[in-house]
Amino acid sequence: MLLKRLGIFFLDILEVIVSAIAIFLFVYLLLVQPHKIKGASMEPNFHNGEFLLTDKLSYRLHEPKRGDVIVFEAPDANGEEFIKRIIGLPGEKISINDGFYYINGQRLSETYIPQTIKTFPNLFLKTGQELYIPQNSYFVSGDNRQASSDSRAWGFITKDKITGRAWLIYWPPKSSGFVQKVSYAT
């Protein structure tokens, strides 16, 4: 009798463990995924060492928007994921002039960053050059333009490389909260 009760107890425990793993995998693979911010490329809005949750469901339901902070597989980075902000959308023309982004000839107002864009020679998008963003592609940039490897250097990213939208900062506690949406006036 004791052996039977012990067996039932262990089966119940195994059932709970298997259910917990199944729920975890469902959430991790389909809904949200944790990411760690590495480096200073998104300062002053996101800091090195912060942890955030990435919403993996949103872009299955609607298209990414300008201003969304996304996690994506970086070009030529052996599967490493970067965190950047979407600046240019499919079908738009983008340029850098006088240290600012221009979308379809209109200066993009970026109130969430304090500085202008640092320009580098021999990049993908050179100062004064206007590029058309192909369908299913996006132009992304770090908020800290002085310390960001982004679309200015290596070009557009395609939607299939996007893991998801940064949704919630959960560590450290003093920084925790939902990722703020931004609005633009072009």
Q: Which residues are catalytic?
A: 41, 84
Closest CA to 32 of 12, 57, 11: 57
Distances 89 to 43, 107, 121, 152, 157 between C-alpha atoms, Å: 22, 15, 24, 14, 10
Ramachandran category for residue 71: left, alpha or beta (phi over 0 → left; psi -120 to 50 → alpha):
beta
Q: Cα–Cα distance between 183 and 186 in angstroms, integer?
A: 10
- Residue owning tokens 């240290």: 99
Closest CA to 57 of 180, 167, 164: 164
What residues are paired with 123 via a beta bridge? Answer: none
